[in-house]
Amino acid sequence: MRYPILELYYFDACPYCQRVMTVIEKHKIKVTYLDIYENTNNMQKLMMITGKKTVPCLFIDGDPMFESLDIMKWLEDNLATLEKASV
């Protein structure tokens, strides 16, 4: 079985991002964080692929998911199939 690759486009001051990150950290899910202001290449990539710069955006095996509540629900619903971060 292969774990899905998870990448979260975000920025720190975004409250919607923060609530998604709370779920990620609570369950110690392995996610690559891509800050769109710290590295503008990340913002460019997000805009190029999705046509917008709204965050949070979780890429699941390359497919973008928007809406923090949908992302949180997806993470909780799929916990058993997600890779855990090594501490």
69: left (phi over 0), alpha (psi -120 to 50) or beta: alpha
Q: Is position 45 an interface residue for ligand GSH (rule: CB under 6 A)?
A: no
**What does the block give as tokens for 28?**
């110690």
Q: Is position 56 an interface residue for ligand GSH (rule: CB under 6 A)?
A: yes
Query: Hey, CA dihedral for 78, 8, 63, 84, is it positive or negative?
Result: negative
Of 25-33, 38-46, 47-55, 76-84, which part binds ligand GSH (CB under 6 A)?
47-55
Q: Is position 35 an interface residue for ligand GSH (rule: CB under 6 A)?
A: no
Which residue of 46, 55, 58, 72 would you call a contact of ligand GSH, by CB under 6 A? 55
Q: Find the angle CA(75)-CA(20)-CA(78) to the nearest 5 degrees.
A: 0
Of 1-9, 39-47, 63-71, 76-84, which part binds ligand GSH (CB under 6 A)?
63-71
d(Cα 8, Cα 37) in Å, to the nearest integer?
Answer: 13
| Sites of contact with ligand GSH (CB under 6 A) | 14, 16, 52-56, 67-69
